[in-house]
Amino acid sequence: MDNKSGISGYVFAGGKSSRMGFNKAFLPIHNKPLLQHMIELVDPFCEQVAISGQDSAYEVFNLELVPDVYPDCGPISGLFSVLQHSSTDWNLIVGVDVPFLDAELISYLISFQNQYDCIIPVHHSGIEPLVGLYHRRIRPVIATQINQRIFKLTKLLNEINTLYVDCNHLVEKNPKLFCNINRMEDYSDV
């Protein structure tokens, strides 16, 4: 099966980077901006790739920008917005700040694509709601939750048919797999 069949990709880069103090999407990783690195990771698996965010500086990446439909609600608004934007049922979501994600993880998650609403990695340190596959059919559940002012993605995952995929074996191979860059100290470890 062609991995790109029926999957859109979205790199979440709409955060305020408040702990970093500046837009971390432009931090250099492997001689390119972090956002470009994440776009290139997602692209081989997706029919289309877009950026969840509205910073006009992102126009240099020549991809469609998807602004939040519900401003100031955090990642759940980005999720609703990209699922509304998407032309495919399945959507690969990755945060811009997890540079050690790899193709093996993405292939592994895609292999579980089935009757679930969402496929999320889980490991000894927790779950990763900003790395996963989401089906478009959950948009009404997200809209209801936002209208109730419930912005936690973990609450959403409990309301839908979520498959939590054990990724501990991948973390053993790549211990930094889910490491986030939120502060300069995190970036210095790259």
Per-residue pLDDT of 3-27, as tens digits, reads 566 899 999 997 655 455 567 899 9
Residue 85 within a domain: yes
> Which pTM value belongs to this model?
0.92
In whole angstroms, how far apart are CA 62 and each of 29, 36, 49, 56, 139?
19, 11, 10, 11, 27
Residue 1 pLDDT greater than 50, yes or no: no
Residue 84 pLDDT greater than 50, yes or no: yes
Residue 59 within a domain: yes
Residue 184 within a domain: yes
Beta strands in the chain (DSSP E): 7-12, 28-29, 32-33, 48-52, 65-66, 90-95, 118-123, 126-127, 131-135, 162-166
Residue 149 within a domain: yes
Residue 144 within a domain: yes
Residue 1 within a domain: no
Residue 83 within a domain: yes
Residue 162 tokens, joined: 């979520």
Residue 2 within a domain: no
Q: Which domain holds residue 102?
A: 7-188
Number of compact structural domains in the chain: 1
CATH number at residue 177: 3.90.550.10
